[in-house]
Chains A and B, each alone.
Chain A
Amino acid sequence: MVSDRSKLGFYLLLAPLLLWLVTLIILPHIGLFIVSISEKVGVREYEIGLGNYAVFFNEPLYWRTFARTAFMSISTTVLTLLLGFPIAYYIAKLTRGRTKTTLFLMCLIPFWVSELVRTFGWMILLRETGVLSSFLQYTGVIGGPVEFLYNDGAIMVGLVYTSILFMIVPLVTTLDSLDDSLIEAGYDLGGSGWSILREIVIPHAMPGIVSGCIVVFMLSLGNYLTPILLGGKDSLWFTGLIYTQFITRFNWELGSAFGFLLLGLSSTIVFFGLKLSRQSLSDTMGR
């Protein structure tokens, strides 16, 4: 009787999660997969086949955009890590109590406004008539107005900015758990700042680094708004291509195929990333 009741409770508690997984993730993906392997042979006539995937490999624009997106996302991840690590180290190890909370909160505050507004903020700063251009003209560094928007650099800046919090949070958590006496022991045994970072701090922070990198990489790869707004019409971001297939071209079949290729790409890169850093997914995400 008791076990029956506790079983019922277990399934009731599990129900929202199952509903969410099945209806919002598994079912749509099954649907999209069926669409992606349907080739259009005539009006409202479809055949099962991998033709949509073949289009991707035969058209250089598509797979080049794909490679470019992957490369830029990896660069964003590396850049975010390089910028986020010192910030996280400072927050976790060099500040105490109130200052720590304040600094952590200051990293969080920009995320209270939507991504769209934040991206527009960067547009105000970087556009031809924007703050940066005007300032450089005022100080005499440049003669005329310069357009800082609509290039890869601008995309990168925007992507790093939107995702750095997701790097800092796991890093602060893992660095917080590093016992200060380990660092002191390292110094005491004659280690320099660099060797302690390499041999003690980074190995300890590895799960945080990897989980931060996975999140940032996924966010950048799947980002649509930032590359389109800051990169303009030449941004050539893979999510942009998917959007075009679905909304502009009404080619759901090709769009779905692209979607699955993106899923495959991100999973492969994360897999190799984990192999390279010798971490397991459950280690990094299960904390």
Chain B
Amino acid sequence: MAQTADLECCDLTKDFDNFRAVDHVNFVVPQGSFFSILGPSGCGKTTLLRMIAGFQFPTSGDLLIKGQSMIGVSPNKRPISMVFQHLALFPMMNIERNIGFGLRQRGVPSSEIKTRVGRVLERVGLPGIQDRQIGQLSGGQKQRVAIARCMVLEPDVLLLDEPLGALDLKLREHMKIELKTLQAEFNTTFVYITHDQSEALVMSDSIAVMNKGKFDQIGTAKELYYEPANSFVAGFVGDANRFEGKVTALNGQIVSLITDAGITIQGQATTQVPTIGQHAQIFVRPEVIQLSKDPVPNKENQNSIKRVVNNVLFNGANSMVILCDPKSGEKIQVTLPQKGAFLELDKGDTVYTSWKPTQARCFTSEVH
């Protein structure tokens, strides 16, 4: 690699009194990329971010920014800025003083602070609001001011701690695109933590899925979605129907299992092929399941099963239908095609579902 990475974590570990919050985490974030850490609440992602920012100290391991170890460097000496979850704009100052705070600490002359604050406000699309108070801004404007306050310092890495959490849905969708544009505009490395998978999938160049203090998988959004490394990633990223059962037959990577309800289904094991008799899980994305009104010939292990419509969830292009197995009552979610015969689908109708085994993923169940 010609260029040193902006941020690098080597075996970073953080122990609290009786549990390990971050467990031997390793990752490298190259310059100018948008890196997300995605995980459920309590997975240790906030602890990891606070260690990068310098508010918490790792128990072991190393943390490098532009190749320099940050162990023992206090937060105000690190070339990092952070956008806090609730933004933490200073209510006692106006916008100009808020954004100029970091520059004042560095002893930048006040005339230069004025021009630099004006310039950064222009770049985030809010020119001329220097004299306003924090309370006079809308949620999205506050967000941009918080980013401007960090970016005016030209940090090597910008950390973002679920900053969209407090916004309403419409604004959140808008800010996702905005953040991505800002990141490209400033060409700064962003490290973004979130529990919202759609935020991570939309914005990131690279995503790390974190669970119980460990990174389960690091990859692009597509890799995580189509080639999950384990059952946690498959279940957490995107929607998926999960089937659990005992493995009955193996055909190369294609695994057949019989669920507790007595249905036989097939999926592809890409990581570790289970042995016959073992417990395994199969994940099927709602959009790969095909619907048809007539039985599909079961010639290529098409997983053709007759099901009854339990509910239709109309949501425009994202409409779903919940189907239920007439015998066991097991429910699955299927994306409803917005054309043709299925528009009239109603509760109680009978349909046949099928999917190709290569589009479903099989993972060995974790041993409890």
List chain A positions with a Cβ less than 8 A from chain B: 179, 181-182, 184-192, 195, 199-200, 203-204
Contacts and interface: CB of A to CB of B under 8 A. Distances in A.
Contact of A199 (B54, B84, B88, B101): B101
Interface string B92-131: 1100000001101110000000000000000000000000
Contacts of B76: 187-192
Contacts, number: 64
Nearest to A184: B55
B88 A184 contact: yes
A188 B150 CA distance: 9
Interface in B41-98: 53-55, 74-77, 80-82, 84-86, 88, 90-93
B149 interface: yes
A185 B53 CA distance: 10
B86 A179 contact: yes
B149 to A, nearest CB: 7
The A contact surface, by secondary structure, is: helix
A185 B84 contact: yes
B273 interface: no
Given A189-B81, A189-B102, A190-B105, A184 B86 contact: no
B101 A186 contact: yes
B158 to A, nearest CB: 11
Interface string B271-287: 00000000000000000
Contact of B75 (A181, A182, A187, A204): A187
Contact of A188 (B75, B90, B92, B104): B75
Interface string B149-166: 110010000000000000
A181 B84 contact: yes
Contact of B93 (A184, A188, A199): A199
Contact of B105 (A179, A181, A195): A195
A200 B90 contact: yes
B152 to A, nearest CB: 9
Chain B contact patch, size range? 20 to 34
List the 5 closest A-B pairs by CB distance, nearest first: A189-B102, A185-B88, A203-B92, A181-B88, A190-B105
Nearest to A202: B92
Interface of B: 53-55, 74-77, 80-82, 84-86, 88, 90-93, 101-102, 104-106, 149-150, 153
A188 B82 CA distance: 7
B105 A185 contact: no
A198 to B, nearest CB: 11
B81 A188 contact: yes
A154 B340 CA distance: 94
Contacts of A204: 91-92
A147 B75 CA distance: 51
Contacts of A200: 90, 92
A283 to B, nearest CB: 13
Given A181-B88, A188-B75, 20 more contacts: A181-B85, A181-B86, A182-B90, A184-B82, A184-B88, A185-B82, A187-B55, A187-B74, A187-B75, A188-B81, A188-B82, A190-B76, A190-B102, A190-B153, A191-B105, A192-B76, A195-B105, A199-B90, A199-B92, A204-B91
Nearest to A182: B88
Contacts of A185: 82, 84, 88, 90
Contacts of B53: 184, 188
Contacts of A192: 76, 105
Nearest to A201: B92
Contact of A189 (B86, B91, B149): B149
Nearest to A180: B88
A187 B76 CA distance: 5
B63 to A, nearest CB: 15
B229 to A, nearest CB: 33
A187 B78 CA distance: 10
A184 B86 CA distance: 12
A184 B84 contact: yes
Contact of A190 (B86, B92, B93, B106): B106
A191 B82 CA distance: 13
Contacts of B93: 199, 203
A191 B74 contact: no
A182 B54 CA distance: 15
Contacts of A184: 53, 55, 75, 82, 84, 88
Contact of B101 (A179, A189, A203): A189
26 contacts: A179-B88, A181-B84, A181-B86, A181-B88, A184-B55, A184-B75, A184-B84, A185-B84, A185-B90, A186-B90, A188-B53, A188-B76, A189-B81, A189-B153, A190-B105, A190-B106, A190-B153, A191-B101, A191-B102, A192-B105, A195-B105, A199-B90, A199-B92, A200-B90, A203-B92, A204-B92
A203 B90 CA distance: 10
Contacts of A203: 92-93
A182 B84 CA distance: 9
A190 B105 CA distance: 6
Contacts of A195: 104-105
A151 to B, nearest CB: 41
